[in-house]
Structure 1
Amino acid sequence: MANTYTQIYIQRFFAVKFRENKISEEIRDEVEKYICGIFNHKKQSVLAIYANPDHIHIFFCYRNLQISIPDLVKVVKVESTNFINEKKYLKTHFSWQEGYGAFSYSKSQKENVIKYVLNQKEHHQKQSFKHEYIGFLKKFEIEFKNEYLFEFFE
């Protein structure tokens, strides 16, 4: 029986609905651990994760090709939303905004991307999420229309 071998590194990020600051420092660690558990259950390997108050970055090695990236995003969003709401971490309902960004990297970029994701707190003291996201779209030469981007409230 032949085996399939892959090494695909992807950084994904998506935003909290209405870009509200709902992921506080008090719950950040639990949310990150839970999301890592979802990835592990789906046989994916998280290399770095950082939940900002209004969006999250996840850098992972995409190994299990039995689940598509859109399906993986859907599972992560649904299950983490349910987790946050069932734990009653917030006084109001939590949900993720529609859409996401997914960007691929080579193995030689792996350590730099891990550092970038883990340095999010400091990074966003200098740059907004909107500026960061549009920068990614331009860097990766992805055509986009402003009206289809995340809802940015600044």
Structure 2
Amino acid sequence: MEPDMPFTRFRFHIVFATKGRAKWIDAEIEEFLYPVLISSAARNDGKIITLGGVEDHVHLIAAIKPKVAPSHFIDRTKSESSGAIRRNFRRRRNFKWQVGFGAFTLSALDYQDAVRYVEKQKEHHRRGITWSVFEEIMEEGFEEAA
């Protein structure tokens, strides 16, 4: 590595929901959506490490290059993915994500637990084992935090 080259290891747990928490992400949409999210992230200077979700929201563990603001990365990824769904699925012409999102940095200690949590979203929701504080915030909608 060159001396003036930055080294970072920024990992984020990102969550965003469908507008109005509509249950639009069925198996067919999910099969299409996840590769679109991965491609969009790569185009926007990031990499999705893992993702998971249920009918009304998705969780991502992502690495984002330090030159990119997380909000820009998330906004672009959401915009590109919702547009792709609207173009490819007539019955989802009104598909939109909520305006807000949640983004949490992960330490080396949090990382593996967060990955497991994201990978098992369907199981967690089926069993009612979710990150309760965060899920409640998602129900109310995200507000800009300082």
TM-score (norm 2): 0.84
Structure 1 contact 13–100 (Cα < 8 Å) conserved = yes
1:51 to partner: Cα distance: 3.2
Query: Structure 2: which 5+ residue stretches go unaligned?
Result: none
Structure 2 contact 12–106 (Cα < 8 Å) conserved = yes
Q: Counterpart of 1:86? A: 87
Q: What is the aligned counterpart of 2:46 among 44, 47, 54?
A: 44
**How far, CA to CA, are the matches of 1:27 and 1:47 in structure 2?**
20
Structure 2 contact 53–118 (Cα < 8 Å) conserved = no
1:90 to partner: Cα distance: 2.7
Structure 1 contact 22–90 (Cα < 8 Å) conserved = no
Structure 2 contact 38–48 (Cα < 8 Å) conserved = yes
Q: Counterpart of 2:113? A: 112
Structure 1 contact 18–97 (Cα < 8 Å) conserved = yes
Q: What is the aligned counterpart of 2:57 among 55, 58, 77?
A: 55
In the comparison of the two structures, how many residue pairs are matched? 140
2:146 is equivalent to residue 150 of structure 1 = no
> Equivalent residues in 2 for 1:1-154 (5 A)?
2-62=4-64, 64-88=65-89, 90-127=91-128, 131=132, 133-134=134-135, 149-150=140-141
- Indicate how the Cα distance of structure 1 residues 110 and 131 shifts in structure 2: closer, same or farther if over 3 A, else same: closer
Identity over the aligned pairs, expressed in percent?
A: 21
**What secondary structure, in the 3-state scheme, does the structure 2 residue paired with 1:2 have?**
coil
